[in-house]
């Protein structure tokens, strides 16, 4: 199915890491009839508001990139929030898309849907074959429900709803919260702040905290208050302490690569392309999106330290959880559908660090 350039496309979560990149990718491809709503403008947890939005806008296609996300600590502490909010968002958006005759829908999930001990690399058919990783089980179950909704609506009603499962993402507009962000942005910020402390540059530390306060501590606090707060997150002038042992292997994908893959699937792949035409049971129709390349968390941290030129020590707190030992996607299905990644990890770390520094400078200049 071809989406004309005039198609009205609703990008849910268009301010987020992936949603903003998808929005820009669509614009670059000549799709200018895009709709986006901030959380303040449209609460996707509110079924009445979502119905009213679809009644008024009548989009031709939908990209569901909105989700309640976070790192290991957030997933452990806010288990109810992660399952409830994501289920509610998916129920509202996918349900109204069907009721309003949306011709194409793309749902973004996560590779945490796969079992903790799934065979590596993880193929799409590894889904639901053994227990999930405990730390993010509620989030994973919500995402499994989302992909099964896409699959089931397409099977029963002939919809053209496709689910893509991205690996660990990073890039512009990332979340650099020290506690609730994903591993790479948090790592970059921790090492950057430790470098500033190591070099005695409290002015840069204050600029950073003014842009992103930590537990209420900003650049306006005293040196002691700032140092005490950062130390709670393993950030000192002498060392950066990171969670776990550093041994887990992870795969990373630049967010703009993910956006390009998503738009490629939206424009070029139909539900019928996601499974064998003569299959007796139609399942596992989702598509892994990743680089197919893995790196240990320790090696990743060493690359970040080298990029930022931090002269202190890198330490590991083995009392904290590592999460899944290994999580590499099999991307042969995606490759067969005509897409491959472009940005390798060294280039990506450099780009993200430059974006992060630029944001601090721009924000400081406008204050």
- Classified as helix, coil or strand, 361 is helix
Residue 84 bears catalytic tag: no
Q: Is the pTM of this model over 0.85?
A: yes
pLDDT digits (tens, 9 = 90+) for 127-142: 999 999 998 999 999 9
Angle (CA) 111-113-117 rounded to 5° is: 90
Q: Write b or e for each residue in 57-76: b if 16 or more Cβ atoms lie within 10 A of its Cβ, otherwise e.
A: eebbbbbbbbbbbbbbbbbe
Of 139, 161, 170, 192, the active-site residue reads 139
- pLDDT, average across residues 220-243: 96
pLDDT at residue 362, as a whole number: 67
- Residues 227/355/298/233 CA torsion (nearest 10 deg): 20
Distance CA 36, CA 13 (A): 7
Average pLDDT of the residues of the chain: 94
pLDDT at residue 367, as a whole number: 47
What is the pLDDT confidence band of residue 2, given thresholds at 50, 70 and 90? confident
Name residues whose C-beta falls within 8 Å of residue 84's C-beta, 6 or more positions apart in sequence: none
- pLDDT, average across residues 4-32: 96
Inter-CA distances, 249 with 195, 294, 295, 301, Å: 26, 6, 5, 12
Q: Write b or e for each residue in 184-219: b if 16 or more Cβ atoms lie within 10 A of its Cβ, otherwise e.
A: bbbbbbbbbbbbbbbeeeeebbbbbbebbebeebbb
Distance CA 128, CA 355 (A): 38
Distance CA 257, CA 261 (A): 6
- Classified as helix, coil or strand, 210 is helix
The most distant pair of C-alpha atoms in the chain lies apart, rounded to whole Å, by 68
pLDDT digits (tens, 9 = 90+) for 255-273: 999 999 999 999 999 999 9
Closest CA to 132 of 108, 155, 116: 116
């Amino acid at each position: 199915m071809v989406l004309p350039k005039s198609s009205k496309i609703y990008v849910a979560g268009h301010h987020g890491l992936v949603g903003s990149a998808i929005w820009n990718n669509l614009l670059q491809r000549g799709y200018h009839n895009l709709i986006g709503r901030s959380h303040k403008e449209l609460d996707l947890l509110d079924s009445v508001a979502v119905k009213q939005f679809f009644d008024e806008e009548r989009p031709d296609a939908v990209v569901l990139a909105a989700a309640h996300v976070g790192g290991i600590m957030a997933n452990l502490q806010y288990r109810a929030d992660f399952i409830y909010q994501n289920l509610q968002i998916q129920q509202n958006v996918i349900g109204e898309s069907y009721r309003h005759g949306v011709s194409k829908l793309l749902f973004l999930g996560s590779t945490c849907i796969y079992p903790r001990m799934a065979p590596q690399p993880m193929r799409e058919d590894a889904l639901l074959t053994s227990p999930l990783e405990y730390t993010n089980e509620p989030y994973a179950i919500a995402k499994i429900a989302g992909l099964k909704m896409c699959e089931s609506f397409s099977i029963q009603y002939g919809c053209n709803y496709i689910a893509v499962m991205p690996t660990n993402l990073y890039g512009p507009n990332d979340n650099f919260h020290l506690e609730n962000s994903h591993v790479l942005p948090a790592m970059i910020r921790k090492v950057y702040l430790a470098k500033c402390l190591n070099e005695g540059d409290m002015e840069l530390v204050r600029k950073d905290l003014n842009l992103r306060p930590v537990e209420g501590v900003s650049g306006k606090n005293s040196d002691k208050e700032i140092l005490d707060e950062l130390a709670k997150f393993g950030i000192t002038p002498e060392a950066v302490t990171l969670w776990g042992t550093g041994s887990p292997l992870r795969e990373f994908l630049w967010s703009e690569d993910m956006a390009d893959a998503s738009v490629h699937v939206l424009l070029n792949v139909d539900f019928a392309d996601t499974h064998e035409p003569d299959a007796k049971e139609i399942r596992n129709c989702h598509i892994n999106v990743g680089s197919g390349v893995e790196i240990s968390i320790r090696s990743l941290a060493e690359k970040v330290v080298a990029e930022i030129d931090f002269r202190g020590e890198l330490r590991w707190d083995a009392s904290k959880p590592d999460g899944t030992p290994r999580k590499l996607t099999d991307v042969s299905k995606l490759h067969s559908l005509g897409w491959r990644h472009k940005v390798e990890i060294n280039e990506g770390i450099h780009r993200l660090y430059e974006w992060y520094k630029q944001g601090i400078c721009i924000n400081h200049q406008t204050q």
